[in-house]
């Protein structure tokens, strides 16, 4: 007779068989794991190259859409209504034609995650990652733009330890670890269509202005990556056997993003000298991504182990399963936004917008591999509502040569991740701020961008809460003013 244990430390049985259902190791009392296991999660703090360190990232592909460009970070993740001329958004290909010329951009992100359950259990983790990177090739003031880029789609990372002292058994230690995530590689094309009309300039003159522009873009996204998760149960008493479960999932998908932004001039004013005074414009846009095929390779291995000399030794394989090229579906998603933009002759400008986005994960839940989730966790439609405000002070010649030309922005967002735990969604609320600073001495339109985000993640049926502090620093590089790249050669 061999003493064996299941992954549940409160259920230790005497059995002749060491077989443990493969999903049991993957689903150990989710509420208890999330709420009680924090005391020993990270003794004080941890620094890692992982781009996430949240227990909520245990499910599915991890936490979705956590890495934005610095400008989008400052606007709470807005990707449509607040497009600008100095940084494109990888989520909306139509934003590429707002750029004035070829632009190379990249960023780095630092995050601090504070986790708390009740009054006594808390932990912190600090980690960094690269933000979205890419290049838009565009002739100065041209109509077409070629898009090449790479960005993060999802992030999974956690390291949880839970200790229990069970009567008759002794100390039982559970360890849960995960890492990985999915990335996007983008290749796209965008074009802008403009129209103009004559408007009054003073009492007896007129001037032609661009009154409407339609920005349209399409891009192909190749989604790829791997998520690894493991759970280990170790009973200190060597008369009991230990258990270890590993799940590795590799995913691939090709999808298409279709973006559109309409910029409509509402009014513009010129004085009698044909000099610009102010203007007001309305911007409406959105992005649509239809459903796409998903191919997954998922391997699950459960082992019975025994720790000898501090080293876990595999004694038996209790369960093994392998899914090769499992056919699933990625959900359709849509985004829509509207904003107002005001400009004044002295350089003062402001813009304010609102966006709503949703992804229909529940519609493809039946086609997802069940190994991606745990008992009590289900796919759910993700939604987000975002508000953003941006302004320039104006009269830069009367202010600091750098700060007077800086763009400042603020944002608010509320939404949920695509999972429910015991029927309650993983919700989040964030507030953000940021700035774009021109590189005055660079002889170009290059800029430095800064964004910061503060928020919480939680589920309504628990007292576990996460507080996230994220800092995003990036740059967008444009050619020197006298650079003739992509400018047609002139002949006598």
Predicted pLDDT at 234: 87
pTM, rounded to two decimals: 0.84
Does residue 275 or residue 13 have the better pLDDT? Answer: 275
* Cα four-point dihedral sign 230, 231, 235, 241: negative
Does residue 181 or residue 461 have the better pLDDT? Answer: 181
Predicted pLDDT at 488: 60
Predicted pLDDT at 376: 87
Cα–Cα distance for residue pair 282/263, rounded to 1 Å: 6
Q: What is the mean pLDDT of residues 96-113?
A: 93
Largest CA distance in the chain: 103
Strands (E), 345-423: 349-359, 377-379, 382-392, 407-421
Predicted pLDDT at 45: 36
Per-residue model confidence as pLDDT tens digits over 234-261:
888 888 888 889 999 999 999 999 999 9
Weakest-pLDDT range from 113-117, 144-148, 329-333 = 113-117
Q: What is the CATH number that goes with domain 2-477?
A: 2.40.160
Predicted pLDDT at 417: 93
Asked if 102 and 138 count as a contact pair (C-beta separation under 8 A), the reply is: yes
Highest mean pLDDT among 18-27, 73-82, 270-279, 382-391 belongs to 382-391
Taking alpha carbons only, the member of 157, 88, 103, 148 closest to residue 129 is: 157
Predicted pLDDT at 50: 57
Per-residue model confidence as pLDDT tens digits over 415-469:
999 999 988 999 999 999 999 999 877 778 899 999 999 999 999 878 888 999 9
Weakest-pLDDT range from 10-19, 21-30, 230-239, 308-317 = 10-19
Scored b (16 or more CB within 10 A) or e, 167-179 reads: eebeebbbbbbbb
Predicted pLDDT at 263: 96
Asked if 364 and 380 count as a contact pair (C-beta separation under 8 A), the reply is: no
């Amino acid at each position: 007779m061999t003493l064996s244990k299941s992954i549940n430390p409160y259920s230790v049985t005497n059995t002749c068989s060491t077989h443990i259902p493969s999903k049991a190791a993957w689903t150990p009392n989710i509420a208890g794991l999330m709420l009680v296991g924090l005391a020993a999660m990270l003794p004080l703090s941890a620094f890692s190259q992982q781009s996430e360190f949240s227990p909520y990232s245990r499910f599915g592909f991890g936490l979705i859409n956590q890495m934005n460009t610095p400008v989008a970070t400052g606007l709470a993740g807005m990707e449509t209504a607040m497009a600008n001329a100095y940084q494109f958004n990888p989520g909306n290909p139509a934003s590429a034609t707002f750029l004035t010329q070829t632009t190379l951009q990249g960023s780095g992100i630092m995050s601090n995650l504070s986790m708390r359950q009740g009054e006594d259990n808390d932990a912190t983790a600090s980690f960094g990652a690269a933000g979205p990177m890419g290049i838009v090739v565009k002739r100065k003031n041209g109509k077409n733009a070629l898009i090449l880029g790479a960005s993060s789609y999802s992030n999974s990372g956690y390291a949880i330890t839970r200790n229990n002292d069970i009567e008759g058994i002794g100390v039982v230690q559970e360890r849960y670890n995960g890492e990985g995530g999915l990335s996007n590689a983008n290749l796209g094309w965008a074009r802008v269509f403009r129209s103009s009309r004559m408007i009054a300039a003073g009492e007896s003159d007129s001037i032609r202005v661009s009154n409407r522009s339609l920005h349209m873009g399409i891009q192909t996204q190749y989604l790829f990556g791997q998520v690894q998760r493991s759970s280990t149960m170790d009973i200190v008493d060597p008369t009991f056997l230990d258990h270890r479960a590993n799940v590795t999932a590799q995913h691939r998908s090709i999808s298409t993003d279709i973006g559109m932004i309409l910029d409509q001039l509402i009014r513009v004013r010129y004085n009698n000298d044909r000099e610009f005074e102010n203007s007001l414009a309305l911007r409406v846009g959105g992005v649509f991504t239809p459903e796409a095929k998903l191919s997954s390779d998922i391997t699950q291995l459960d082992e019975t182990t025994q720790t000898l000399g501090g080293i876990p030794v595999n004694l038996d394989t209790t369960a093994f399963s392998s899914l090769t090229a499992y056919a699933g579906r990625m959900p359709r998603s849509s985004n829509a936004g509207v904003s107002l933009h005001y400009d004044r002759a002295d350089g003062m400008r402001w813009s304010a917008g609102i966006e709503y986005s949703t992804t229909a994960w529940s519609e493809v839940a039946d086609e997802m591999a069940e190994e991606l989730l745990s008992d009590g966790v289900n796919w759910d439609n993700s939604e987000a509502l975002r508000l953003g405000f941006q302004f320039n002070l104006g009269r830069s010649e009367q202010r600091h040569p750098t700060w007077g030309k800086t763009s400042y922005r603020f944002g608010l967002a509320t939404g949920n991740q695509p999972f429910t735990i015991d029927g309650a969604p993983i919700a989040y609320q964030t507030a953000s701020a940021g700035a774009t600073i021109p590189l005055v001495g660079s002889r170009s339109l290059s800029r430095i961008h800064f964004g910061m985000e503060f928020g919480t993640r939680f589920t309504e049926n628990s007292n576990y809460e996460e507080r996230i502090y994220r800092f995003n620093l990036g740059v967008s590089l444009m050619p020197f003013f006298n650079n003739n790249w992509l400018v047609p050669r002139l002949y006598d």
